[in-house]
Amino acid sequence: MGKKGVLLVNLGTPDSPEVGDVRKYLDQFLMDERVIDINAFNRTLLVKGVIVPFRSPKTSKLYKEIWDENGSPLLYFSKIQAALVQEQLGDEYHVELAMRYQNPSILSALEKMKAGLVESIKVIPLFPQYASASSGSVIQLVMELVSKWATIPAISFVNSFHDNELMIETFAENAKKYQPETFDHVLFSFHGLPERQLLKCDHTGNYCLKKDNCCETLNDTNKMCYSAQGHNTARLIAEKMNLSRADYTVCFQSRLGKEPWVQPYTTDVLKKLAVEGKKRLLVFSPAFVADCLETLYEITVEYHEEFKALGGEHVQLVESLNDDPKFIQALVDMAKG
Protein backbone atom coordinates (compact mmCIF):
# COMPACT_ATOMS: atom_id res chain seq x y z
CA MET A 1 0.00 0.00 0.00
CA GLY A 2 1.15 3.53 -0.75
CA LYS A 3 1.64 6.27 1.80
CA LYS A 4 -1.06 8.71 2.82
CA GLY A 5 -0.28 12.20 1.61
CA VAL A 6 -0.80 15.28 3.77
CA LEU A 7 -0.49 18.70 2.15
CA LEU A 8 -0.22 21.69 4.49
CA VAL A 9 -0.76 24.99 2.67
CA ASN A 10 -0.24 28.49 4.01
CA LEU A 11 -0.72 31.79 2.19
CA GLY A 12 2.81 32.59 1.11
CA THR A 13 5.72 34.94 1.47
CA PRO A 14 8.21 36.65 -0.82
CA ASP A 15 11.44 34.75 -1.46
CA SER A 16 13.27 37.71 0.05
CA PRO A 17 12.31 41.15 1.38
CA GLU A 18 13.81 42.85 -1.67
CA VAL A 19 11.49 44.90 -3.87
CA GLY A 20 11.73 42.54 -6.86
CA ASP A 21 10.68 39.49 -4.87
CA VAL A 22 7.95 41.40 -3.05
CA ARG A 23 6.64 42.56 -6.43
CA LYS A 24 6.45 38.95 -7.69
CA TYR A 25 4.64 37.86 -4.55
CA LEU A 26 2.10 40.69 -4.59
CA ASP A 27 1.47 40.21 -8.31
CA GLN A 28 0.70 36.50 -7.94
CA PHE A 29 -1.32 37.04 -4.77
CA LEU A 30 -3.46 39.93 -5.94
CA MET A 31 -4.05 38.58 -9.44
CA ASP A 32 -5.87 35.60 -7.90
CA GLU A 33 -9.49 35.87 -9.03
CA ARG A 34 -10.66 34.85 -5.56
CA VAL A 35 -8.58 37.51 -3.79
CA ILE A 36 -9.61 40.48 -5.93
CA ASP A 37 -12.87 39.12 -7.25
CA ILE A 38 -13.61 41.57 -10.05
CA ASN A 39 -13.47 41.03 -13.81
CA ALA A 40 -10.08 40.06 -15.20
CA PHE A 41 -9.53 43.26 -17.21
CA ASN A 42 -10.17 45.60 -14.27
CA ARG A 43 -8.21 43.36 -11.90
CA THR A 44 -5.19 43.48 -14.23
CA LEU A 45 -5.35 47.27 -14.51
CA LEU A 46 -5.71 47.68 -10.76
CA VAL A 47 -3.06 45.19 -9.68
CA LYS A 48 -0.40 45.63 -12.35
CA GLY A 49 -1.02 49.31 -12.99
CA VAL A 50 -1.63 50.66 -9.48
CA ILE A 51 -1.25 48.37 -6.48
CA VAL A 52 1.91 46.41 -7.22
CA PRO A 53 4.03 49.33 -8.52
CA PHE A 54 3.13 51.54 -5.55
CA ARG A 55 2.92 48.98 -2.74
CA SER A 56 5.99 46.88 -3.52
CA PRO A 57 8.62 49.36 -2.24
CA LYS A 58 6.56 50.12 0.90
CA THR A 59 5.83 46.46 1.59
CA SER A 60 9.49 45.58 1.02
CA LYS A 61 10.46 47.95 3.86
CA LEU A 62 7.95 46.26 6.17
CA TYR A 63 9.22 42.77 5.35
CA LYS A 64 12.76 43.93 6.11
CA GLU A 65 11.56 44.86 9.60
CA ILE A 66 10.48 41.28 10.40
CA TRP A 67 13.01 39.29 8.33
CA ASP A 68 15.59 37.69 10.59
CA GLU A 69 18.39 35.10 10.48
CA ASN A 70 15.77 32.43 9.76
CA GLY A 71 14.33 34.37 6.85
CA SER A 72 10.57 34.80 6.61
CA PRO A 73 8.94 34.00 9.98
CA LEU A 74 5.87 32.59 8.23
CA LEU A 75 7.92 30.18 6.13
CA TYR A 76 10.22 29.33 9.04
CA PHE A 77 7.38 28.31 11.35
CA SER A 78 5.47 26.59 8.54
CA LYS A 79 8.49 24.39 7.80
CA ILE A 80 8.75 23.47 11.47
CA GLN A 81 5.05 22.64 11.58
CA ALA A 82 5.35 20.34 8.56
CA ALA A 83 8.47 18.62 9.95
CA LEU A 84 6.84 18.02 13.34
CA VAL A 85 3.65 16.69 11.76
CA GLN A 86 5.71 14.31 9.63
CA GLU A 87 7.63 13.16 12.71
CA GLN A 88 4.46 12.41 14.63
CA LEU A 89 2.63 10.73 11.77
CA GLY A 90 5.56 8.47 10.92
CA ASP A 91 6.54 6.56 7.79
CA GLU A 92 2.99 5.69 6.76
CA TYR A 93 2.51 9.33 5.78
CA HIS A 94 4.11 11.68 3.25
CA VAL A 95 3.83 15.30 4.47
CA GLU A 96 4.52 18.26 2.21
CA LEU A 97 4.38 22.00 2.85
CA ALA A 98 3.29 24.45 0.17
CA MET A 99 2.46 28.12 -0.13
CA ARG A 100 -0.48 29.29 -2.20
CA TYR A 101 1.72 32.08 -3.57
CA GLN A 102 5.43 31.76 -4.33
CA ASN A 103 7.55 28.99 -2.82
CA PRO A 104 7.40 26.12 -2.11
CA SER A 105 4.59 25.95 -4.66
CA ILE A 106 1.52 23.75 -4.50
CA LEU A 107 2.51 22.31 -7.89
CA SER A 108 5.94 21.22 -6.65
CA ALA A 109 4.48 19.69 -3.48
CA LEU A 110 1.86 17.74 -5.41
CA GLU A 111 4.47 16.51 -7.89
CA LYS A 112 6.53 15.14 -4.98
CA MET A 113 3.47 13.30 -3.72
CA LYS A 114 2.75 11.98 -7.18
CA ALA A 115 6.31 10.71 -7.49
CA GLY A 116 5.96 9.12 -4.05
CA LEU A 117 2.91 7.16 -5.26
CA VAL A 118 0.67 8.31 -2.42
CA GLU A 119 -2.64 6.48 -2.25
CA SER A 120 -4.54 9.49 -0.88
CA ILE A 121 -4.08 13.19 -0.20
CA LYS A 122 -5.50 15.18 2.73
CA VAL A 123 -5.23 18.91 2.04
CA ILE A 124 -5.15 21.19 5.09
CA PRO A 125 -5.21 24.91 4.24
CA LEU A 126 -3.66 26.57 7.28
CA PHE A 127 -6.46 29.08 7.72
CA PRO A 128 -8.67 28.38 10.74
CA GLN A 129 -11.64 30.30 9.30
CA TYR A 130 -12.89 29.57 5.80
CA ALA A 131 -12.75 32.34 3.21
CA SER A 132 -13.06 32.06 -0.55
CA ALA A 133 -9.90 34.17 -0.87
CA SER A 134 -7.79 31.82 1.27
CA SER A 135 -9.03 28.26 1.83
CA GLY A 136 -11.23 28.43 -1.25
CA SER A 137 -8.33 29.50 -3.44
CA VAL A 138 -6.13 26.66 -2.16
CA ILE A 139 -8.85 24.07 -2.71
CA GLN A 140 -9.59 25.32 -6.22
CA LEU A 141 -5.94 25.22 -7.31
CA VAL A 142 -5.33 21.76 -5.85
CA MET A 143 -8.38 20.41 -7.68
CA GLU A 144 -7.31 22.04 -10.94
CA LEU A 145 -3.80 20.58 -10.74
CA VAL A 146 -4.79 17.07 -9.65
CA SER A 147 -7.55 16.92 -12.25
CA LYS A 148 -4.85 16.74 -14.94
CA TRP A 149 -3.32 13.56 -13.52
CA ALA A 150 -4.03 10.30 -15.33
CA THR A 151 -4.65 8.54 -12.04
CA ILE A 152 -6.23 10.64 -9.31
CA PRO A 153 -5.82 9.44 -5.71
CA ALA A 154 -8.54 9.75 -3.09
CA ILE A 155 -8.43 13.40 -2.06
CA SER A 156 -10.09 15.28 0.80
CA PHE A 157 -9.97 18.76 2.25
CA VAL A 158 -10.21 20.46 5.64
CA ASN A 159 -12.09 23.63 4.78
CA SER A 160 -11.91 25.18 8.25
CA PHE A 161 -11.01 24.42 11.86
CA HIS A 162 -12.25 27.58 13.59
CA ASP A 163 -13.52 25.63 16.60
CA ASN A 164 -10.66 23.15 16.99
CA GLU A 165 -10.30 22.50 20.71
CA LEU A 166 -6.51 22.19 20.76
CA MET A 167 -6.11 25.38 18.71
CA ILE A 168 -8.40 27.26 21.09
CA GLU A 169 -6.49 25.95 24.11
CA THR A 170 -3.15 26.97 22.58
CA PHE A 171 -4.23 30.57 21.99
CA ALA A 172 -5.69 30.83 25.50
CA GLU A 173 -2.56 29.36 27.10
CA ASN A 174 -0.29 31.67 25.07
CA ALA A 175 -2.07 34.61 26.68
CA LYS A 176 -1.44 33.47 30.26
CA LYS A 177 2.18 34.61 30.33
CA TYR A 178 1.02 38.21 29.79
CA GLN A 179 -1.32 38.14 32.81
CA PRO A 180 -4.55 39.00 30.93
CA GLU A 181 -6.11 40.35 34.11
CA THR A 182 -3.67 43.30 33.96
CA PHE A 183 -5.07 44.51 30.63
CA ASP A 184 -8.04 46.83 30.19
CA HIS A 185 -9.49 45.08 27.14
CA VAL A 186 -8.87 42.18 24.75
CA LEU A 187 -9.01 42.43 20.97
CA PHE A 188 -9.45 39.58 18.51
CA SER A 189 -8.15 41.18 15.33
CA PHE A 190 -8.78 39.11 12.20
CA HIS A 191 -7.54 39.78 8.69
CA GLY A 192 -10.12 41.81 6.81
CA LEU A 193 -12.20 40.92 3.76
CA PRO A 194 -14.35 43.03 1.43
CA GLU A 195 -18.01 42.90 2.46
CA ARG A 196 -18.93 41.69 -1.02
CA GLN A 197 -17.04 38.44 -0.35
CA LEU A 198 -19.15 37.82 2.75
CA LEU A 199 -22.32 38.51 0.76
CA LYS A 200 -21.32 35.91 -1.83
CA CYS A 201 -21.26 33.25 0.89
CA ASP A 202 -24.87 34.00 1.88
CA HIS A 203 -26.78 31.70 -0.43
CA THR A 204 -30.13 32.87 1.01
CA GLY A 205 -29.45 36.45 -0.04
CA ASN A 206 -31.34 37.84 2.95
CA TYR A 207 -29.14 37.25 5.99
CA CYS A 208 -25.57 38.53 5.63
CA LEU A 209 -25.28 42.20 6.66
CA LYS A 210 -29.09 42.39 6.75
CA LYS A 211 -29.66 41.00 10.24
CA ASP A 212 -28.45 42.75 13.38
CA ASN A 213 -25.30 41.10 14.72
CA CYS A 214 -25.56 38.55 11.91
CA CYS A 215 -22.07 37.17 12.62
CA GLU A 216 -22.28 37.08 16.41
CA THR A 217 -23.62 33.52 16.62
CA LEU A 218 -22.80 30.65 14.28
CA ASN A 219 -25.85 29.01 12.70
CA ASP A 220 -26.87 26.98 9.63
CA THR A 221 -27.15 30.11 7.47
CA ASN A 222 -23.78 31.67 8.28
CA LYS A 223 -21.76 28.53 9.12
CA MET A 224 -19.39 29.11 6.15
CA CYS A 225 -19.09 32.86 6.74
CA TYR A 226 -15.53 33.98 7.51
CA SER A 227 -16.69 36.66 9.93
CA ALA A 228 -19.11 34.36 11.76
CA GLN A 229 -16.44 31.68 12.10
CA GLY A 230 -14.05 34.36 13.40
CA HIS A 231 -16.57 35.49 16.01
CA ASN A 232 -16.96 31.84 17.02
CA THR A 233 -13.18 31.41 17.42
CA ALA A 234 -13.02 34.56 19.54
CA ARG A 235 -15.95 33.41 21.72
CA LEU A 236 -14.35 30.03 22.37
CA ILE A 237 -10.97 31.56 23.31
CA ALA A 238 -12.74 34.10 25.52
CA GLU A 239 -14.61 31.32 27.30
CA LYS A 240 -11.33 29.52 27.99
CA MET A 241 -10.04 32.75 29.53
CA ASN A 242 -13.23 33.36 31.52
CA LEU A 243 -13.82 36.67 29.74
CA SER A 244 -17.27 38.23 29.60
CA ARG A 245 -18.62 39.57 26.30
CA ALA A 246 -17.90 43.10 27.51
CA ASP A 247 -14.24 42.22 28.04
CA TYR A 248 -13.38 41.74 24.38
CA THR A 249 -14.00 43.09 20.86
CA VAL A 250 -13.83 41.31 17.52
CA CYS A 251 -12.35 43.53 14.80
CA PHE A 252 -10.66 43.36 11.39
CA GLN A 253 -7.31 44.64 10.13
CA SER A 254 -5.34 44.91 6.85
CA ARG A 255 -7.87 46.79 4.75
CA LEU A 256 -7.08 47.46 1.09
CA GLY A 257 -8.85 50.11 -1.01
CA LYS A 258 -11.82 52.35 -0.24
CA GLU A 259 -14.79 50.00 -0.58
CA PRO A 260 -16.48 48.63 2.59
CA TRP A 261 -14.67 45.79 4.31
CA VAL A 262 -15.81 43.70 7.26
CA GLN A 263 -16.28 45.91 10.30
CA PRO A 264 -15.43 47.12 12.84
CA TYR A 265 -11.96 48.07 11.62
CA THR A 266 -9.21 47.55 14.18
CA THR A 267 -8.01 51.14 13.82
CA ASP A 268 -11.51 52.44 14.66
CA VAL A 269 -11.68 50.18 17.71
CA LEU A 270 -8.32 51.51 18.94
CA LYS A 271 -9.70 55.07 18.74
CA LYS A 272 -12.89 54.10 20.57
CA LEU A 273 -11.03 52.34 23.37
CA ALA A 274 -8.62 55.25 23.76
CA VAL A 275 -11.57 57.64 24.14
CA GLU A 276 -12.99 55.32 26.80
CA GLY A 277 -9.74 55.63 28.72
CA LYS A 278 -8.38 52.14 28.08
CA LYS A 279 -4.60 52.03 28.42
CA ARG A 280 -3.44 48.44 27.95
CA LEU A 281 -4.73 46.11 25.24
CA LEU A 282 -4.08 42.40 24.74
CA VAL A 283 -4.45 41.42 21.08
CA PHE A 284 -4.98 38.03 19.46
CA SER A 285 -4.86 37.48 15.70
CA PRO A 286 -6.52 34.06 15.35
CA ALA A 287 -6.74 34.08 11.55
CA PHE A 288 -3.05 33.13 11.48
CA VAL A 289 -1.41 29.90 12.64
CA ALA A 290 2.12 31.31 12.32
CA ASP A 291 3.44 34.76 13.09
CA CYS A 292 3.90 36.91 10.01
CA LEU A 293 3.87 40.49 8.73
CA GLU A 294 0.33 41.08 9.98
CA THR A 295 1.14 40.04 13.54
CA LEU A 296 4.82 40.93 13.97
CA TYR A 297 4.59 44.35 12.34
CA GLU A 298 1.01 45.49 11.84
CA ILE A 299 -0.09 44.69 15.39
CA THR A 300 3.18 44.75 17.33
CA VAL A 301 4.53 47.95 15.78
CA GLU A 302 1.85 49.88 13.89
CA TYR A 303 -1.10 49.38 16.24
CA HIS A 304 1.10 49.83 19.30
CA GLU A 305 2.37 53.17 18.00
CA GLU A 306 -1.09 54.25 16.88
CA PHE A 307 -2.62 53.45 20.26
CA LYS A 308 0.16 55.29 22.13
CA ALA A 309 -0.43 58.35 19.94
CA LEU A 310 -4.09 58.21 20.99
CA GLY A 311 -3.15 58.24 24.67
CA GLY A 312 -2.88 54.51 25.30
CA GLU A 313 0.13 52.83 26.87
CA HIS A 314 0.63 49.38 25.40
CA VAL A 315 -0.63 46.94 22.77
CA GLN A 316 0.56 43.40 23.50
CA LEU A 317 0.37 40.73 20.81
CA VAL A 318 -0.40 37.18 21.89
CA GLU A 319 1.88 35.14 19.65
CA SER A 320 0.43 32.75 17.12
CA LEU A 321 0.36 28.94 17.26
CA ASN A 322 3.77 28.53 15.60
CA ASP A 323 5.44 25.28 16.79
CA ASP A 324 3.32 24.73 19.92
CA PRO A 325 2.97 20.96 20.56
CA LYS A 326 -0.80 21.23 21.07
CA PHE A 327 -1.27 22.82 17.67
CA ILE A 328 0.97 20.22 16.05
CA GLN A 329 -1.26 17.57 17.61
CA ALA A 330 -4.29 19.37 16.19
CA LEU A 331 -2.76 19.14 12.70
CA VAL A 332 -1.91 15.47 13.24
CA ASP A 333 -5.52 14.78 14.28
CA MET A 334 -6.82 16.58 11.18
CA ALA A 335 -4.43 14.61 8.97
CA LYS A 336 -5.69 11.33 10.39
CA GLY A 337 -9.35 12.31 10.48
CATH for 203: 3.40.50.1400
pLDDT at 57: 98
Do 148 and 171 share a structural domain?
A: no
255 or 174: which leads in pLDDT: 174
**Any domain includes 325:** no
- Distance CA(81)–CA(13), nearest Å, equals 16
Do 140 and 27 share a structural domain?
A: yes
pLDDT at 54: 96
**Any domain includes 331:** no
Q: What is the pTM of this model?
A: 0.96
**Any domain includes 252:** yes
Segment 247-255 shows an average pLDDT of 95
Count CA atoms closer than 13 A to 315's CA, side-chain side. 31
**Any domain includes 335:** no
Do 121 and 22 share a structural domain?
A: yes
pLDDT of residue 218 exceeding 80: yes
Its domain, for residue 279, covers 165-317
Do 207 and 313 share a structural domain?
A: yes
Q: Is the peptide bond before 125 cis (omega within 30 degrees of 0)?
A: no
Q: Above pLDDT 70, what percent of the chain?
A: 100
pLDDT band at residue 305, thresholds of 50, 70 and 90?
very high
Do 229 and 216 share a structural domain?
A: yes
Does 94 count as an annotated binding residue?
A: no
Do 284 and 199 share a structural domain?
A: yes
280 or 201: which leads in pLDDT: 280
**Any domain includes 336:** no
Do 191 and 156 share a structural domain?
A: no
Do 228 and 285 share a structural domain?
A: yes
Do 145 and 15 share a structural domain?
A: yes
Domain limit, last residue, from 95, 128, 160: 160
Segment 175-188 shows an average pLDDT of 97
pLDDT at 250: 98
Domain limit, last residue, from 114, 130, 160: 160
**Any domain includes 144:** yes
Segment 142-160 shows an average pLDDT of 97
Does 305 count as an annotated binding residue?
A: no
- Distance CA(152)–CA(146), nearest Å, equals 7
Do 97 and 200 share a structural domain?
A: no
Domain limit, last residue, from 160, 191, 215: 160
Domain count, the chain: 2
Segment 286-309 shows an average pLDDT of 98
**Any domain includes 328:** no
Do 141 and 208 share a structural domain?
A: no
Do 135 and 9 share a structural domain?
A: yes
pLDDT of residue 169 exceeding 80: yes
